[in-house]
Amino acid sequence: MLKFYYNTLSPNVRRVWLTLLEKKLTFETVLVKLDGDQFEPEFLEINPFHHIPVLEDNGLRLVESLAIMDYLEAKYPTPALLPTSPEALAKVRMVQLLTANELFSPVVQLICQKQDSPQFKLAKRKLDRVLKFLSELLGNSPYFASEQLTLGDIVAGAAISLLPKLEINLTDYPNMDQWFKRLMQREPWQKTDMSAEDFEEFKRRIKVLVKLRARELIGGNKTK
């Protein structure tokens, strides 16, 4: 049986969780508490980078959410979550990478910066640019590059689901707003939606991680 190491606080975990549920797969869950479990020797043997999600399947160990999603799509192709045409496939991949590389960064800034700060305003402008691009890419299609749900929708939706919790309204992007409502009508999305309590803990942890990384950068610069 598939073994899924997870925690509800992680958007990257939710990507895989949604893929498992949308494919109606049977899997065992292993909760990794992020207050230290990820640094325990037993878990470091599974993933020396102390990250989740991790998926195990009959001795195969997979880390990195996008790789896990590709594996699940290849091994369990029904229902299909990737289109077959080169153009549509490229659009789905573009949505995934834009979400990872361009969308999540301003979300972190919105969490960490004060609303009247230049950094906050810059993050909102960047977020607007990303959402406008995604809106154009979505067009009149119900899902990204397909009439059916794709892995692109899962990656983008898991990240964009954080925006309403940050009081970012999608109504300025009407097709994206309808797309997001369409996602949230699906049972797996309702089941995996982050609670208000979990979201507050998620924000707290993001702030701590940002501070730690800033200190590491300062420390690294001092040793040069």
pLDDT at position 221: 54
Helix axes 65-75, 151-160, angle to 10 degrees: 150
pLDDT at position 222: 56
pLDDT, tens digit (0-9, with 9 covering 90-100), for 188-209: 999 999 999 999 999 999 998 8
- From CA 134, how far away is CA 150, in angstroms rounded? 14
Asked if the bond preceding 53 is cis, omega within 30° of 0, the reply is yes
pLDDT at position 193: 97
> Higher confidence at residue 1 or residue 18?
18
With a cut of 70, say whether residue 176 has pLDDT above it.
yes
Banded model confidence at residue 212, pLDDT cuts 50, 70, 90: confident
Q: Are strands 27-31 and 2-6 parallel, antiparallel or unpaired?
A: parallel
With a cut of 60, say whether residue 223 has pLDDT above it.
no
Banded model confidence at residue 101, pLDDT cuts 50, 70, 90: very high
pLDDT, tens digit (0-9, with 9 covering 90-100), for 38-96: 888 888 999 999 899 999 999 999 999 999 999 999 999 999 999 999 999 999 999 99
pLDDT, tens digit (0-9, with 9 covering 90-100), for 103-162: 999 999 999 999 999 999 999 999 999 999 999 999 999 999 999 999 999 999 999 999
- Residue 138's nearest CA partner among 160, 121, 123, 168 is 160
With a cut of 70, say whether residue 220 has pLDDT above it.
no
> Higher confidence at residue 217 or residue 113?
113
Give 121's contacts (C-beta < 8 A, 6+ positions apart). Answer: none
Model confidence pTM above 0.85: yes
